[in-house]
Structure 1
């Protein structure tokens, strides 16, 4: 009896904090030293060489270089950082919910951290994991104060702003998620404020998109890599495929006809056009062209052929949202081993492979589809009553963040990797957990559940009916 007495004396908040710390330790031990993705290896090369460029986020590489300068080599420090931030955010949110008596919701928050597709990709040391961890930590910190009905301190605000800023810099499209999240969390959300709040979100988003190249190249000292041209090339190829070789006069019609003859077109991912791949003649043909000329041709082709562009973007959005796709669709299974590299970036123990296969199966299923997370976020927005519930006032910005990020892929996206949806998935289901802590209007709740079931069932039907592609990258490259 005596050994159990201290545990019984712990508050609900302390038990959640302890559980979160234990889960963090277990994850670190099971997956150590984390998995180095292909992008991770490219960034670590910059860390070792000291030459930074902006294809991958220089903010992450610069932070990594600080650990490297202190003698801590490999991906271990970045894995430790993102895992600690991940579980700190979840732990703070769970503890605050438990303190309000919402113990089932608190358990659900911690269980969400163990959801295999999310956890499997969160242990990969890559920008998506860094972004999700930073935003979870900021959400947990603010939620800890809001749910306990305490004012947000200056120190907590400063830390949250630092985390939001890092998340913005660590992914080129992160602002679509960060702007609505920060605007809704830093000040309590009220629907009557939505015109001014949305105007602020739009203004901040546009400003960040405009200033990001200057920050990356000026402040962070990254050399330009031409990364911003990949979206234009991807879309122009899609337009030329649908509207004909004369639709994009930036390159000769013969080039676009070659694209068709060699089956280079893809509305799923742009990689076929990258240098060194079999269809790189598209990018080679644009070498040396001024960026303004490429972007003018891109926007001009969209204006001239909006239907072709929309068809291309919708096809891509369906692929990246994994709605009407085969059961085995590439880039969903988390990596169990690090990319081969000359820098000594090691892999976790072989036991991780079985976990990742299981996680990949769930990620490939309708339950793991980003479209289901988007549907959940939209349901939260339809059902939440932030003026009547503190938990709902936190659920709304999380749902807005998830929805804005997922809808942004309609316009800005060139690949279907599941990891791109890591934050959106976590944010959507966190918002749903917060939503369920207060009573809901029954009729609207039934409609929302029906819509969720319809999305899941149509996704299941597509997976059972469509021919399989395979799980690996080469299956997409053809």
Structure 2
């Protein structure tokens, strides 16, 4: 029996290695988007800014010694992605859950996930690092073995990188870590630990970015207050923090869009507002921001709900941009090229999938909430505990978008979507889902999908490009 399980784990692991190699060949040397181009420009110039995570640019600068372009970073994130999925799949196969192991590989190979993972971005760097960390934990935990010290060190390093490589990653990683630690803690104690951990990481991140990593400070932290002030002004009769002229300009040029904050920073539209607020002392801007939210709570709530609907892609039209995996690299003068036409075909398949509920974060949220309730109702076990940690991580990150998000790109949701998919595999592999949970969760999911489908069929088709969304 043990020999058969070991053989199954080897076969599944070999399958992950094959898929990793196939991804490297198909998408070589990786896809770069606008953010990636700007970070590579920092690598070449040696001047680092905090608009994008400096840890990624610094890491890229180290790998640049191995070769130019995006290829070194592309190899790292693809290798981490399939290492994590391969370890988790092999661990499931080793425990006799071969179908679950195969399901993990199928999920990783979906054009929606695989296509995005080929893009060298902070989001995919985060996804690769987190999957590798979860895979290492799962390899030992699913066998009910103690994790060796070197593996713990590797997990800590991966988690630290993932935390620094996305500004909002803290809302996913701290909950994941807290739920994974094997210390005896009640659920409310873990909740307090999550809050304390998030606050601690938020406090130490700026000194790390500006001090340790030497990134120059930009106005990136002002985008959220400016977006919220514009949203409050749009939904209220008055405009705390903005002058009547500002509000008139926003309305005249349609600079407020729940989809993203970008028109407010566009010089051709409302950039003058952002430029003026950039000169306001940080403490004053925060006071204006919080004061406007307190004085106009209904308008603030309308604005945040409008954006949440947009980023969760519930009641939105067909053709929303920034959802399909990129087919080619952003035009640039830095020598960053595009992958082969075969990769473009797979990305096109991923583009079809994003128009289905598989590409709607709101659908994954419903599944995550259902899985959370199922996991909480089960006794402790390695698959259940890992599934619970993934569910909490996904839901806390998604919850953070209700307050701190400023754009609706699907790539921001890659980790929650993948975490929820793996959560369901772990739960189903252990035992069938309870009938009550399936009925309740299924009914809510059907209602969400029905509402989303109706919106997509009835609303005018969305502009399919970034420039189109700018208007």
Same fold flag (TM > 0.5): yes
CA contact (8 A) 1:389 1:438 kept: no
CA contact (8 A) 2:321 2:466 kept: yes
- What does residue 93 of structure 1 align with? 88
* Residue 477 (1) aligns with residue 443 (2): no
TM (norm. structure 2) is: 0.96
Question: Of 380, 393, 408, which residue of structure 1 is paired with 2:400?
Answer: 408
- How big is the shift at 1:456? 1.9
- What does residue 137 of structure 2 align with? 142
Unpaired segments of 5 or more residues in structure 1? 1-6
- How big is the shift at 1:347? 0.6
CA contact (8 A) 1:139 1:185 kept: no
Q: RMSD across aligned C-alpha pairs, in angstroms?
A: 1.6
* Residue 159 (1) aligns with residue 154 (2): yes
* Residue 437 (1) aligns with residue 432 (2): no
CA contact (8 A) 1:232 1:294 kept: yes
Distance in 2 between residues matched to 1:8 and 1:163, nearest whole Å: 32
Give matches, 1:124-135, under 5 Å.
124-135=119-130
Distance in 2 between residues matched to 1:362 and 1:12, nearest whole Å: 30
CA contact (8 A) 2:80 2:129 kept: yes
CA contact (8 A) 2:5 2:96 kept: no
Mean Cα deviation higher: 259-268 or 95-104: 259-268
* Residue 309 (1) aligns with residue 300 (2): yes
Where 1:141 maps in the other structure, the secondary structure is helix
- How big is the shift at 1:387? 2.4
1:176-234 per-position Cα deviation (integer Å, ceiling 9, x unaligned): 0001111122327x8x7111111111101011112211111011100001100000000
- What does residue 282 of structure 1 align with? 273
Where 1:436 maps in the other structure, the secondary structure is helix
CA contact (8 A) 2:304 2:402 kept: yes
* Residue 450 (1) aligns with residue 446 (2): no
* Cα gap change, 1:271 to 1:41, in 2 (>3 Å): same
CA contact (8 A) 1:135 1:164 kept: yes
- What does residue 227 of structure 2 align with? 234
Distance in 2 between residues matched to 1:291 and 1:183, nearest whole Å: 32
Give matches, 1:11-90, under 5 Å.
11-68=7-64, 70-90=65-85
CA contact (8 A) 1:386 1:396 kept: no
1:417-457 per-position Cα deviation (integer Å, ceiling 9, x unaligned): 01110111100111011110123322223222222222222
* Residue 427 (1) aligns with residue 396 (2): no
Question: What is the count of residue pairs matched by the alignment?
Answer: 467
CA contact (8 A) 2:370 2:437 kept: no
Q: List structure 1 runs of 4+ shifted beyond 4 angstroms.
A: 7-10
Where 2:193 maps in the other structure, the secondary structure is helix
Distance in 1 between residues matched to 2:297 and 2:204, nearest whole Å: 28
- How big is the shift at 1:326? 1.1
1:113-132 per-position Cα deviation (integer Å, ceiling 9, x unaligned): 01211111111000000000
CA contact (8 A) 1:381 1:396 kept: yes
Give matches, 1:152-301, under 5 Å.
152-187=147-182, 193-244=186-237, 246-248=238-240, 250-301=241-292
CA contact (8 A) 1:275 1:284 kept: no
- What does residue 335 of structure 1 align with? 326
- How big is the shift at 1:10? 6.5
1:16-39 per-position Cα deviation (integer Å, ceiling 9, x unaligned): 111100000000000011101100
* Residue 417 (1) aligns with residue 417 (2): no
CA contact (8 A) 1:402 1:424 kept: yes
- What does residue 351 of structure 1 align with? 342
CA contact (8 A) 2:363 2:449 kept: yes
1:284-331 per-position Cα deviation (integer Å, ceiling 9, x unaligned): 222321111111110110011111011000000000000111121121
Where 1:286 maps in the other structure, the secondary structure is helix
- How big is the shift at 1:273? 1.5
* Cα gap change, 1:134 to 1:315, in 2 (>3 Å): same
CA contact (8 A) 2:50 2:216 kept: yes
CA contact (8 A) 2:129 2:162 kept: yes
